[in-house]
Structure 1
Amino acid sequence: MTDDSTGRPSARPREAEPYEPQPHEPEPREPAGGESACLLPLVCEECGALAEARPPAVCWRCSALVDRA
């Protein structure tokens, strides 16, 4: 808000807008499928890296066999 005589902002504070509660929006659902929650079968026992393919696979970092069931 500006003061009409000077064009500068007025010194009086603006009034707060009344609080309006927003309607609750449901959380969007994740699409079915995709990556499984447990990545433990992909963890290399030797170095802890994640395998790039499903077991049995060869670790990209240390070349150990990743074969957890």
Structure 2
Amino acid sequence: MDGNNRKAAQGNAPAAGAMHTADWRTQLQPDSRQRIVNKIMENIKGRLPVSGQEGAQELNKIAMRFEDMIHTAATSK
């Protein structure tokens, strides 16, 4: 699994008067995101049949893309 290809999250500029704090996304450890991907995969496997190594790899790609979309769109933890 290649977590190095993930896009960096782009945050919006802080509102006027807001303190300049680091985006919470940058503080998430890669293993935390991988655990979420694994949970997504388990959830999908419980609902759809997956056969062979190729099917498992495709499922992993789907789960990683889904997690990345959710991570990018999230406004808070």
TM-score, normalisation: structure 2:
0.24
Considering fraction of residues, name the structure with more helix: 2
Larger radius of gyration: 1
TM-score, normalisation: structure 1:
0.26
